[in-house]
Protein backbone atom coordinates (compact mmCIF):
# COMPACT_ATOMS: atom_id res chain seq x y z
CA UNK A 1 0.00 0.00 0.00
CA UNK A 2 1.31 3.42 -1.00
CA UNK A 3 0.19 6.91 -0.02
CA UNK A 4 0.15 9.79 -2.49
CA UNK A 5 -1.08 13.38 -2.63
CA UNK A 6 -2.66 14.83 -5.74
CA UNK A 7 -4.26 18.06 -6.89
CA UNK A 8 -8.05 17.63 -6.91
CA UNK A 9 -10.39 19.22 -9.45
CA UNK A 10 -10.42 22.59 -7.71
CA UNK A 11 -6.68 22.35 -7.08
CA UNK A 12 -6.90 21.28 -3.43
CA UNK A 13 -4.36 18.74 -2.18
CA UNK A 14 -5.95 15.32 -1.54
CA UNK A 15 -4.35 12.42 0.30
CA UNK A 16 -4.97 9.01 -1.26
CA UNK A 17 -4.03 5.36 -0.93
CA UNK A 18 -2.87 3.27 -3.88
CA UNK A 19 -3.38 -0.48 -3.55
CA UNK A 20 -0.84 -2.98 -4.89
CA UNK A 21 -3.22 -3.40 -7.86
CA UNK A 22 -2.90 0.34 -8.62
CA UNK A 23 -6.43 1.31 -7.52
CA UNK A 24 -6.66 4.77 -5.93
CA UNK A 25 -8.88 5.68 -2.94
CA UNK A 26 -9.18 9.19 -1.50
CA UNK A 27 -8.45 9.33 2.24
CA UNK A 28 -10.19 11.61 4.77
CA UNK A 29 -6.89 12.75 6.30
CA UNK A 30 -5.10 15.75 4.78
CA UNK A 31 -1.51 14.76 5.49
CA UNK A 32 0.43 11.53 5.74
CA UNK A 33 1.45 12.22 9.35
CA UNK A 34 -2.20 12.80 10.29
CA UNK A 35 -2.84 9.22 9.22
CA UNK A 36 0.09 7.98 11.30
CA UNK A 37 -0.99 9.97 14.38
CA UNK A 38 -4.59 8.76 14.13
CA UNK A 39 -3.42 5.15 13.84
CA UNK A 40 -1.24 5.64 16.95
CA UNK A 41 -4.18 7.12 18.87
CA UNK A 42 -6.34 4.13 17.92
CA UNK A 43 -3.58 1.67 18.83
CA UNK A 44 -3.40 0.39 15.27
CA UNK A 45 -1.20 0.68 12.16
CA UNK A 46 -1.75 3.14 9.27
CA UNK A 47 -2.29 0.13 6.97
CA UNK A 48 -5.26 -1.10 9.06
CA UNK A 49 -6.74 2.38 9.07
CA UNK A 50 -6.37 2.70 5.29
CA UNK A 51 -7.97 -0.72 4.78
CA UNK A 52 -10.95 0.35 6.91
CA UNK A 53 -11.42 3.46 4.73
CA UNK A 54 -11.12 1.45 1.52
CA UNK A 55 -13.73 -1.08 2.64
CA UNK A 56 -16.22 1.74 3.20
CA UNK A 57 -15.57 3.76 0.02
CA UNK A 58 -15.36 3.55 -3.76
CA UNK A 59 -12.19 3.97 -5.77
CA UNK A 60 -11.53 7.14 -7.73
CA UNK A 61 -12.69 7.08 -11.33
CA UNK A 62 -9.28 8.50 -12.40
CA UNK A 63 -6.26 6.24 -12.83
CA UNK A 64 -3.01 6.92 -10.99
CA UNK A 65 -1.32 8.06 -14.25
CA UNK A 66 -4.05 10.65 -14.80
CA UNK A 67 -3.55 12.41 -11.46
CA UNK A 68 -1.43 15.49 -10.93
CA UNK A 69 0.79 14.20 -8.16
CA UNK A 70 2.12 16.49 -5.44
CA UNK A 71 5.00 15.97 -3.04
CA UNK A 72 3.65 13.12 -0.84
CA UNK A 73 4.84 14.79 2.37
CA UNK A 74 5.82 18.38 3.06
CA UNK A 75 8.77 17.28 5.16
CA UNK A 76 9.69 20.04 7.61
CA UNK A 77 13.30 18.88 7.39
CA UNK A 78 15.18 16.57 5.07
CA UNK A 79 18.43 15.14 6.39
CA UNK A 80 20.81 12.93 4.45
CA UNK A 81 23.41 10.30 5.19
CA UNK A 82 26.54 10.20 3.03
CA UNK A 83 29.18 7.66 2.01
CA UNK A 84 26.95 4.78 3.03
CA UNK A 85 27.80 2.80 -0.12
CA UNK A 86 31.24 1.86 -1.50
CA UNK A 87 30.33 3.56 -4.82
CA UNK A 88 29.83 6.90 -3.06
CA UNK A 89 33.15 6.60 -1.22
CA UNK A 90 34.89 5.97 -4.56
CA UNK A 91 33.19 8.94 -6.27
CA UNK A 92 33.82 11.32 -3.35
CA UNK A 93 37.50 10.31 -3.30
CA UNK A 94 37.70 10.96 -7.04
CA UNK A 95 36.36 14.49 -6.77
CA UNK A 96 38.41 15.32 -3.65
CA UNK A 97 41.76 14.05 -4.97
CA UNK A 98 41.39 14.61 -8.71
CA UNK A 99 41.45 10.87 -9.23
CA UNK A 100 44.52 10.01 -7.11
CA UNK A 101 42.96 6.91 -5.65
CA UNK A 102 46.00 5.88 -3.55
CA UNK A 103 45.46 8.75 -1.06
CA UNK A 104 43.48 7.94 2.10
CA UNK A 105 40.82 10.60 2.69
CA UNK A 106 38.28 11.52 5.33
CA UNK A 107 35.72 9.77 3.10
CA UNK A 108 37.59 6.49 3.71
CA UNK A 109 37.57 7.28 7.43
CA UNK A 110 33.85 8.06 7.59
CA UNK A 111 32.96 4.95 5.58
CA UNK A 112 34.59 2.80 8.29
CA UNK A 113 33.88 4.97 11.35
CA UNK A 114 31.23 4.10 13.93
CA UNK A 115 29.60 7.54 13.44
CA UNK A 116 28.02 7.96 9.99
CA UNK A 117 28.07 11.16 7.96
CA UNK A 118 24.68 12.88 8.41
CA UNK A 119 24.00 16.36 7.10
CA UNK A 120 21.11 18.78 6.85
CA UNK A 121 19.80 18.62 3.28
CA UNK A 122 16.58 20.56 2.81
CA UNK A 123 13.41 22.17 4.10
CA UNK A 124 9.86 21.98 2.73
CA UNK A 125 10.37 25.26 0.85
CA UNK A 126 13.43 23.92 -0.99
CA UNK A 127 11.97 20.48 -1.78
CA UNK A 128 10.01 19.71 -4.94
CA UNK A 129 7.63 16.89 -5.83
CA UNK A 130 6.98 14.80 -8.96
CA UNK A 131 7.37 16.59 -12.33
CA UNK A 132 8.48 19.82 -10.63
CA UNK A 133 11.84 21.19 -11.81
CA UNK A 134 14.98 20.62 -9.77
CA UNK A 135 17.31 23.58 -10.07
CA UNK A 136 20.98 23.71 -11.05
CA UNK A 137 23.37 26.04 -9.24
CA UNK A 138 24.67 28.84 -11.44
CA UNK A 139 28.23 28.57 -10.02
CA UNK A 140 28.91 24.85 -10.46
CA UNK A 141 30.12 23.05 -13.59
CA UNK A 142 29.74 19.51 -12.24
CA UNK A 143 26.28 18.62 -10.95
CA UNK A 144 24.56 15.28 -10.58
CA UNK A 145 21.40 13.77 -9.11
CA UNK A 146 21.82 11.36 -6.20
CA UNK A 147 19.04 8.75 -6.23
CA UNK A 148 18.37 7.65 -2.65
CA UNK A 149 15.88 5.73 -0.57
CA UNK A 150 14.20 8.12 1.88
CA UNK A 151 12.98 7.10 5.35
CA UNK A 152 9.87 8.92 6.60
CA UNK A 153 10.20 9.36 10.36
CA UNK A 154 8.09 10.33 13.34
CA UNK A 155 9.44 12.80 15.88
CA UNK A 156 10.66 9.82 17.93
CA UNK A 157 12.59 8.42 14.97
CA UNK A 158 10.20 5.58 14.06
CA UNK A 159 10.34 4.65 10.39
CA UNK A 160 6.75 4.88 9.13
CA UNK A 161 7.34 4.92 5.39
CA UNK A 162 9.77 4.75 2.50
CA UNK A 163 9.98 7.20 -0.36
CA UNK A 164 12.31 8.21 -3.19
CA UNK A 165 14.67 11.17 -2.85
CA UNK A 166 17.05 13.05 -5.11
CA UNK A 167 19.98 14.62 -3.23
CA UNK A 168 21.12 17.02 -6.00
CA UNK A 169 24.86 17.62 -5.55
CA UNK A 170 27.73 19.74 -6.89
CA UNK A 171 30.79 17.54 -7.21
CA UNK A 172 33.19 20.42 -7.97
CA UNK A 173 32.16 22.51 -4.95
CA UNK A 174 32.33 19.57 -2.52
CA UNK A 175 35.61 18.36 -4.09
CA UNK A 176 37.23 21.79 -3.74
CA UNK A 177 36.79 21.91 0.03
CA UNK A 178 34.71 19.73 2.39
CA UNK A 179 33.73 22.85 4.33
CA UNK A 180 31.69 23.82 1.28
CA UNK A 181 29.35 20.82 1.80
CA UNK A 182 26.26 22.89 2.66
CA UNK A 183 26.71 24.89 -0.57
CA UNK A 184 27.31 21.70 -2.56
CA UNK A 185 24.07 20.23 -1.23
CA UNK A 186 21.56 22.95 -0.44
CA UNK A 187 20.10 25.64 -2.66
CA UNK A 188 16.74 26.47 -4.25
CA UNK A 189 14.92 23.26 -5.39
CA UNK A 190 17.98 21.05 -4.77
CA UNK A 191 15.94 18.21 -3.32
CA UNK A 192 13.08 16.16 -4.79
CA UNK A 193 10.83 13.66 -3.03
CA UNK A 194 8.05 11.36 -4.26
CA UNK A 195 5.99 10.19 -5.97
CA UNK A 196 4.62 8.02 -3.14
CA UNK A 197 5.27 6.77 0.39
CA UNK A 198 5.22 3.03 0.86
CA UNK A 199 3.88 2.19 4.33
CA UNK A 200 6.67 0.70 6.40
CA UNK A 201 4.53 -2.19 7.64
CA UNK A 202 4.06 -3.36 4.02
CA UNK A 203 7.80 -3.73 3.41
CA UNK A 204 9.15 -7.18 4.24
CA UNK A 205 12.84 -6.40 3.79
CA UNK A 206 13.98 -2.78 3.24
CA UNK A 207 17.41 -4.06 2.20
CA UNK A 208 15.92 -5.47 -0.99
CA UNK A 209 14.79 -2.28 -2.69
CA UNK A 210 16.03 -2.04 -6.28
CA UNK A 211 16.98 1.47 -7.43
CA UNK A 212 17.47 2.75 -10.97
CA UNK A 213 18.28 6.15 -12.37
CA UNK A 214 17.91 7.32 -15.97
CA UNK A 215 18.84 10.75 -17.25
CA UNK A 216 17.46 11.86 -20.62
CA UNK A 217 18.93 14.64 -22.75
CA UNK A 218 16.91 15.83 -25.73
CA UNK A 219 14.65 12.81 -25.17
CA UNK A 220 17.61 10.40 -25.54
CA UNK A 221 18.89 8.23 -22.68
CA UNK A 222 22.25 9.75 -21.62
CA UNK A 223 22.99 7.98 -18.31
CA UNK A 224 21.64 4.87 -16.67
CA UNK A 225 22.54 3.10 -13.43
CA UNK A 226 21.11 0.57 -11.00
CA UNK A 227 21.72 -0.41 -7.37
CA UNK A 228 20.15 -2.18 -4.43
CA UNK A 229 19.77 -1.20 -0.77
CA UNK A 230 21.38 -4.59 -0.11
CA UNK A 231 24.70 -2.86 -0.97
CA UNK A 232 24.39 -0.46 2.00
CA UNK A 233 27.27 -0.43 4.48
CA UNK A 234 24.99 0.62 7.35
CA UNK A 235 21.61 -0.30 8.83
CA UNK A 236 18.70 2.14 8.72
CA UNK A 237 18.22 1.97 12.52
CA UNK A 238 21.85 2.93 12.96
CA UNK A 239 21.45 6.03 10.74
CA UNK A 240 18.25 7.04 12.52
CA UNK A 241 19.78 6.59 15.97
CA UNK A 242 22.61 9.00 15.09
CA UNK A 243 20.14 11.49 13.61
CA UNK A 244 18.03 11.40 16.79
CA UNK A 245 20.94 11.62 19.19
CA UNK A 246 20.58 14.83 21.26
CA UNK A 247 18.48 16.24 18.44
CA UNK A 248 14.94 17.53 17.98
CA UNK A 249 13.05 15.71 15.24
CA UNK A 250 9.74 16.75 13.71
CA UNK A 251 6.95 14.44 12.54
CA UNK A 252 7.43 13.74 8.85
CA UNK A 253 11.18 14.32 8.75
CA UNK A 254 12.77 12.52 5.81
CA UNK A 255 16.21 10.93 6.07
CA UNK A 256 17.87 10.17 2.72
CA UNK A 257 20.10 7.14 3.05
CA UNK A 258 22.91 7.84 0.58
CA UNK A 259 23.62 7.14 -3.05
CA UNK A 260 24.99 4.10 -4.80
CA UNK A 261 24.42 5.38 -8.34
CA UNK A 262 26.88 7.96 -9.67
CA UNK A 263 26.96 9.07 -13.33
CA UNK A 264 30.30 8.77 -15.19
CA UNK A 265 32.85 11.36 -14.01
CA UNK A 266 32.65 13.35 -17.27
CA UNK A 267 28.87 13.83 -16.92
CA UNK A 268 27.21 16.98 -15.60
CA UNK A 269 23.49 17.82 -15.62
CA UNK A 270 22.23 20.49 -18.03
CA UNK A 271 19.14 22.65 -18.38
CA UNK A 272 16.39 20.60 -20.08
CA UNK A 273 17.57 17.18 -18.83
CA UNK A 274 14.96 14.85 -17.37
CA UNK A 275 15.78 12.69 -14.33
CA UNK A 276 13.87 9.48 -13.62
CA UNK A 277 14.56 7.66 -10.35
CA UNK A 278 12.72 4.43 -9.67
CA UNK A 279 12.62 2.27 -6.55
CA UNK A 280 10.85 -1.07 -6.58
CA UNK A 281 7.43 -1.04 -4.90
CA UNK A 282 7.53 2.75 -4.48
CA UNK A 283 7.36 4.22 -8.00
CA UNK A 284 9.21 6.54 -10.35
CA UNK A 285 10.19 10.07 -9.38
CA UNK A 286 10.48 12.24 -12.51
CA UNK A 287 11.89 15.78 -12.50
CA UNK A 288 12.95 18.10 -15.29
CA UNK A 289 16.18 20.06 -14.74
CA UNK A 290 16.27 23.85 -14.97
CA UNK A 291 18.92 26.55 -14.77
CA UNK A 292 22.67 26.23 -14.70
CA UNK A 293 25.79 28.27 -15.30
CA UNK A 294 25.21 31.94 -15.97
CA UNK A 295 27.60 33.99 -18.13
CA UNK A 296 28.97 35.41 -14.89
CA UNK A 297 29.77 31.99 -13.48
CA UNK A 298 30.55 29.89 -16.57
CA UNK A 299 34.13 31.11 -17.16
O1 LIG B 1 30.05 13.40 1.63
C2 LIG B 1 29.21 13.88 0.97
C3 LIG B 1 27.87 13.43 0.73
C4 LIG B 1 27.76 12.10 0.10
C5 LIG B 1 26.37 11.77 -0.24
O6 LIG B 1 25.50 12.60 -0.30
C7 LIG B 1 26.01 10.38 -0.53
O8 LIG B 1 26.84 9.47 -0.35
O9 LIG B 1 24.88 10.16 -0.92
MG1 LIG C 1 23.62 11.86 -1.18
Q: What is the mean pLDDT of residues 211-239?
A: 98
Q: Is 259 in the pocket of ligand 1 (CB under 6 A)?
A: yes
Over pLDDT 90: what percentage of the chain? Answer: 94
d(CA 18, CA 215): 27
The dihedral region occupied by 34, where left means phi > 0, alpha psi between -120 and 50, and beta the remainder, is alpha
Nearest CA-CA partner of 159 in 219, 243, 85: 243
Three-class secondary structure of residue 282 per DSSP: coil
| Cα dihedral sign, 147-115-170-185 | positive
CA of 105 to the centre of ligand 2 (A): 18
- Determine how β-strand 253-256 pairs with β-strand 77-82: parallel
Residue 130's alpha-carbon distances to 11, 111, 144, 241, in angstroms, are 16, 31, 18, 29
Confidence of residue 99 (pLDDT cuts 50, 70, 90): confident
Question: For atom 1 of ligand 1, which residue has the closest CA?
Answer: 82
Q: What is the mean pLDDT of residues 208-225?
A: 98
Task: State pLDDT tens for residues 174-210.
Answer: 999 999 999 999 999 999 999 999 999 999 999 999 9
- Is the per-residue pLDDT at 293 higher than 90? no
CA of 258 to the centre of ligand 2 (A): 4
- Is the per-residue pLDDT at 298 higher than 70? no
Q: Is 227 in the pocket of ligand 1 (CB under 6 A)?
A: no
State the pLDDT at residue 232: 98
Q: Which residues contact 203 (CB under 8 A, 6 or more apart)?
A: 162, 281
Q: Is 268 in the pocket of ligand 1 (CB under 6 A)?
A: no
Contact status, residue 260 vs residue 222, Cβ threshold 8 Å: no
| Cα 114 versus chain centre, distance | 24
State the pLDDT at residue 299: 45
Confidence of residue 296 (pLDDT cuts 50, 70, 90): low
Backbone angles phi, psi at 214, to 5 degrees: -130, 135
Q: Which residues contact 206 (CB under 8 A, 6 or more apart)?
A: 149, 162, 229, 236
Q: What is the mean pLDDT of the chain?
A: 96
Confidence of residue 234 (pLDDT cuts 50, 70, 90): very high
Task: State pLDDT tens for residues 59-74.
Answer: 999 999 999 999 999 9
CA of 38 to the centre of ligand 1 (A): 35
- Is the per-residue pLDDT at 75 higher than 80? yes
State the pLDDT at residue 294: 64
Nearest CA-CA partner of 36 in 153, 163, 123, 204: 153
d(CA 44, CA 295): 57
- Is the per-residue pLDDT at 260 higher than 70? yes
CA of 169 to the centre of ligand 2 (A): 7
Pocket probe for ligand 1: among 88, 145, 175, the residue whose CB has the most ligand atoms within 8 Å is 88
Confidence of residue 297 (pLDDT cuts 50, 70, 90): low
Amino acid sequence: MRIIRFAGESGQATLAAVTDEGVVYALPQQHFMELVTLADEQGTEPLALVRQTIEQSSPLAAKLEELELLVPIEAPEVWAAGVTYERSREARNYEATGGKLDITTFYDKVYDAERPEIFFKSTAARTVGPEQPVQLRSDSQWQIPEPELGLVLTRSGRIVGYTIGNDMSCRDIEGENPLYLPQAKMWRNSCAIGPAIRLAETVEDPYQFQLACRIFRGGVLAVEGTASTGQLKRRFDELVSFLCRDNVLFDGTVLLTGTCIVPPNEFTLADGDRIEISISDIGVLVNPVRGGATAEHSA
